[in-house]
């Protein structure tokens, strides 16, 4: 059974790979890990790796993902950012809704963190994600469509942009 580093990574992996009609079941506690299931796919999430990620402030996990490739991380980051922007605009029309406020914050954080995961695939001293780091159809297509999006400087700029959006939202609405 494949391992996810965190519950957040497991949920994203299932969202990326399982038919939308499938329903994610609540995690089942085992002796050393949760089992997360959806649409016939099962993942183990060790308690130790979840705890380590929380201690390190790494939403999706410490180290490199073995489930989600850098192209998928890039696409996920863009998806989180689109939702955060839509929620941000909605919040502007309805300020004061605490649940919506938290959705905006969480969305910008997830967008930033997803790109941080893609950045982890760049080896020290290199300037871009190597071609061999991509293994999924979606990830390979993302790299082929926009190879510059996988340069260290571009990822860092986009991470900073998402962080700035988060900071601006908090400053204006916090």
Q: How confident is the model at residue 144 (pLDDT cuts 50, 70, 90)?
A: very high
Query: To the nearest whole percent, how much of the chain has pLDDT over 70?
Result: 100
Same domain, 98 and 15: no
Residue 51 predicted with pLDDT over 80 = yes
pLDDT at 22: 76
Same domain, 82 and 128: yes
Q: Is 65 within the bounds of a domain? A: no
Q: How confident is the model at residue 148 (pLDDT cuts 50, 70, 90)?
A: very high
pLDDT at 4: 98
Same domain, 158 and 77: yes
Same domain, 44 and 91: no
- The C-alpha torsion from 57 through 63 and 65 to 70, rounded to 10°, is 90
Which tops the pLDDT comparison, 62 or 22?
Answer: 62
Q: How confident is the model at residue 20 (pLDDT cuts 50, 70, 90)?
A: confident
Same domain, 42 and 115: no
Phi, psi of 97 (to 5 degrees): -75, 105
Phi, psi of 33 (to 5 degrees): -160, 160
Strand partners, 24: 38
pLDDT at 174: 80
Tens of pLDDT along 105-129? 999 999 999 999 999 999 999 999 9
User: What mean pLDDT is predicted for residues 88-104?
Assistant: 95
Average model confidence (pLDDT) for the chain? Answer: 96
Same domain, 117 and 169: yes
Same domain, 108 and 144: yes
Q: Are strands 33-38 and 41-46 parallel, antiparallel or unpaired?
A: antiparallel
Q: Is 145 within the bounds of a domain? A: yes
Same domain, 46 and 74: no
Q: Is 89 within the bounds of a domain? A: yes
HEC string of the chain equals CCECCCHHHHHHHHHHHCCCCCCECCCEECCCEEEEEECCEEEEEEHHHHHHHHHHCCCCCCCCCCCCCHHHHHHHHHHHHHHHHHHHHHHHHCCCCHHHHHHHHHHHHHHHHHHHHHHCCCCCCCCECCHHHCCCHHHHHHHHHCHHHHEHHHHHHHHHHHHHHHHHHHHHHC
Which tops the pLDDT comparison, 174 or 62?
Answer: 62
pLDDT at 23: 79
Same domain, 44 and 102: no
Looking at the structure of the chain, the number of domains it has is 2
Instruction: Report in angstroms the alpha-carbon separations of 121 from 11, 62, 96, 165.
Output: 20, 12, 39, 24
Structural domain that includes position 33: 7-56
pLDDT at 19: 80
Q: Is 63 within the bounds of a domain? A: no
pTM: 0.94
Torsion 26-116-164-149 (CA) sign: negative
Of 24-33, 142-151, 161-170, the least confident? 24-33
Residue 11 predicted with pLDDT over 90 = yes
Q: Is 23 within the bounds of a domain? A: yes
């Amino acid at each position: 059974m494949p391992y996810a580093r965190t519950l957040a990574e497991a949920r994203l992996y299932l969202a990326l790979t399982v038919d939308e009609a499938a329903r994610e079941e609540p995690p089942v506690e085992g002796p050393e890990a949760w089992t997360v299931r959806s649409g016939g796919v099962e993942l183990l999430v060790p308690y130790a790796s979840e705890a380590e990620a929380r201690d390190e402030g790494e939403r999706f996990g410490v180290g490199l993902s073995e489930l989600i490739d850098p192209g998928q991380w890039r696409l996920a980051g863009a998806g989180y950012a689109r939702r955060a922007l839509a929620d941000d605009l909605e919040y502007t029309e309805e300020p004061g809704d605490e649940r919506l406020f938290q959705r905006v914050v969480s969305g910008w954080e997830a967008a930033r963190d997803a790109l941080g995961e893609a950045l982890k695939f760049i080896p020290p001293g290199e300037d871009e994600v190597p071609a061999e780091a991509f293994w999924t159809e979606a990830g390979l297509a993302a790299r082929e469509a926009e190879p510059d999006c996988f340069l260290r400087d571009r990822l860092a700029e986009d991470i900073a942009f998402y962080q700035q959006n988060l900071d601006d939202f908090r400053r204006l609405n916090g």
